[in-house]
Amino acid sequence: PDRYAVMGNPIAHSRSPHIHTLFARQTHQHLVYEAMLVEPGHLATAIALFREAGGQGLNITVPFKQDAWRLAEVLNPRAERAGAVNTLLWGNDGRLIGDNTDGIGLVRDLTQNLKQVLTDRHVLLLGAGGAARGVIGPLLETHPARLRVANRTAEKARELARLFEDAGNVEGSGLNELDADRFDLIINATAAGLDSEVPAIPSSLIGEHSCCYDMMYGNQPTAFVNWARNHGAALAVDGLGMLVEQAAESFYLWRGVRPDTPPVIAALRSGL
Ligand code: ATR
């Protein structure tokens, strides 16, 4: 079988092997997909060894997405802009190609699975780290009325907004500058949830039709999802669907076949 893997640190709890195994079964593709723990500073070596052993493609996760961006010999435009690579494959000429499927994964989960309209809507993205940067380009491609990037450290949000200002109506601010606004969609791309915290924003940002989306996920509802539910969001969901959708786009890049994602999301939700 063809070999694929996800590299990260930590990696033991990655759900990617399960997801890609379900995709392969569903689409009758003969492949194996494993999780590989890589020590910091050893990504280049790990990629080279994997290739020598017949590896066909890789997912790259925390904390190596920026390293992978630097190591790629060719960057697809969405990865170039994202400043991070989560998918690697080798071209016919043997060159290492880097792509980023996180943003399209988020947009597909929102628009296709959750039936959310983004066009002409007011969208708030919380956070200005790598996770936020990775999704701004694809979010702007849906033509929201505006995209506000808000971060605890305001200057980082302003910088990020400047980086994408030619791509749409995007502005950056501090969390503390969000006051009387209402947003149709609030996306959490901060790392606050790792400490079971919620970014310090007023619940008045949530309107009765607002959707709140946490890019994090877990076995229990995340802190942000609980917060959104408690403050009357019409819909509050975690990022499991995004995880499956970004995986599906990677699978498509590698195999040329698009898996059917809803049954895989349902299987993961029910713990199968
Ligand atoms: P990632 O690649 O996951 O985005 P990162 O680059 O370390 O990781 O960025 C973490 C993000 O979460 C940042 O936007 C950070 O805000 P600062 O830039 O102000 O540090 C945000 N973050 C982390 N903990 C947070 C908290 N408790 N409340 C609000 N924002 C938080």
**pLDDT tens-digit series, residues 195-213:** 999 999 999 999 999 999 9
Q: How far apart are CA 47 and CA 49, in angstroms?
A: 6
* Ligand-binding site membership of 180 (annotated): no
128 lines ligand 1 (CB under 6 A): yes
| Residues 227 and 254 grouped into a single domain | no
* Ligand-binding site membership of 128 (annotated): yes
Is 65 noted as a catalytic residue in this protein? yes
| Among protein residues, the one whose CA lies closest to atom 21 of ligand 1 | 190
- Amino acid 272: pLDDT: 65
Q: Count Cβ atoms within 10 A of the Cβ of residue 186 and give its class: 0-12 exposed, 13-18 middle, 19 or more buried.
A: buried
| Residues 66 and 120 grouped into a single domain | no
- Amino acid 180: pLDDT: 76
- Amino acid 181: pLDDT: 84
Residue 92 structure tokens: 């016919």
| Residues 140 and 252 grouped into a single domain | no
Residue 94 structure tokens: 């043997």
| Residues 96 and 117 grouped into a single domain | no
User: Closest ligand 1 atom, CA of 127?
Assistant: 14
pTM summary value: 0.97
Output the 3-class SS for the chain.
CEEEEEEECCCCCCCHHHHHHHHHHHHCCCEEEEEEECCCCCHHHHHHHHHHCCEEEEEECCCCHHHHHHHCCEECHHHHHHCCCCEEEECCCCCEEEECCHHHHHHHHHHHHCCCCCCCCEEEEECCCHHHHHHHHHHHCCCCCEEEEEECCHHHHHHHHHHCHHHCCEEEEEHHHCCCCCEEEEEECCCHHHHCCCCCCCHHHEEEEEEEEECCCCCCCCHHHHHHHHCCCCEEECCHHHHHHHHHHHHHHHHCCCCCHHHHHHHHHCCC
Domain coverage including residue 219: 103-238
| Residues 54 and 144 grouped into a single domain | no
| Residues 90 and 198 grouped into a single domain | no
The length of the chain is: 272
| Residues 95 and 84 grouped into a single domain | yes
197 lines ligand 1 (CB under 6 A): yes
| Residues 134 and 152 grouped into a single domain | yes
User: Closest ligand 1 atom, CA of 190?
Assistant: 12
* Ligand-binding site membership of 33 (annotated): no
| Residues 178 and 86 grouped into a single domain | no
Residue ranges in the chain whose pLDDT is less than 50: none
| Residues 18 and 145 grouped into a single domain | no
How many angstroms is it from 101 CA to the middle of ligand 1? 21
How many angstroms is it from 4 CA to the middle of ligand 1? 30
| Residues 223 and 257 grouped into a single domain | no
40: CB partners within 8 A, 6+ apart: 9, 63
How many angstroms is it from 182 CA to the middle of ligand 1? 22
User: Closest ligand 1 atom, CA of 194?
Assistant: 24
The structural domain count of the chain equals 2
**pLDDT tens-digit series, residues 161-203:** 999 999 999 999 999 999 778 999 999 999 999 999 999 999 9
User: For position 13, which CATH number holds?
Assistant: 3.40.50.10860
User: For position 218, which CATH number holds?
Assistant: 3.40.50.720
- Amino acid 179: pLDDT: 79
| Residues 107 and 233 grouped into a single domain | yes
82 lines ligand 1 (CB under 6 A): no
State the complex-level ipTM: 0.98
The one-letter amino acid code at 268 reads L
